[in-house]
Amino acid sequence: MVIKDKLQRALALKEAIRDFIHLNITQLQMKEDIKTRDDIQIFVNEFYDKVNNDVLLAPVFGHVDWVKHLPVMYNFWSSMLLGDRSYEGNPFQKHINLPIQSKHFDRWLELFTSTIDENFDGDKAEETKNRARSIAQVFQHKMNLFKERL
């Protein structure tokens, strides 16, 4: 019984040390700002992975061909943030007929903001979140969804 107790304590200590090391390594890793198209691909991929696993948003976007759509989103955000003018299109027209309400925009922003915060830090990261908030506000205004909030 004594050996079993010592073994359990040793395993618990090993797990505690592992968790401590992981936590400190994570805290030491400095997040960089969004600078390149590769950075944009990181946040777009991680964000849409969250969207596709979200109970509220996944059904709304279940029809999307992600192989085709993700490069469009890379272009959209690269145009917005890096000024490369790679995006052509009208994003509002793609969303106008979706079955969405203000709660969908709230969740979209929550997932988007957390994705940026998890991966980046800096002026461009803040700009990215601000632009996402502005886009959500404009879309909701055009879709008359602000009435829901009253």
pLDDT digits (tens, 9 = 90+) for 22-72: 665 555 568 999 999 999 999 999 999 999 999 999 999 899 999 999 999
CA distance 107 to 56: 8
With 0-12 / 13-18 / 19 or more C-beta atoms within 10 angstroms meaning exposed / middle / buried, residue 37 is middle
**Per-residue CA distances from 15 to 4, 19, 48, 90 (Å):** 17, 6, 32, 51
**Which of 57, 56, 39 lies closest to 115 in space, CA to CA?**
39
Provide the mean pLDDT of the chain: 86
For residue 124, give every residue at least 6 positions away whose Cβ sits within 8 Å of its Cβ, in sequence order, or none. Answer: 33, 34, 35, 81
111: tokens are 């997932």
101: tokens are 């309400």
CA distance 64 to 4: 54
Q: How confident is the model at residue 142 (pLDDT cuts 50, 70, 90)?
A: confident
Could you tell me the pTM of the whole model?
Answer: 0.77
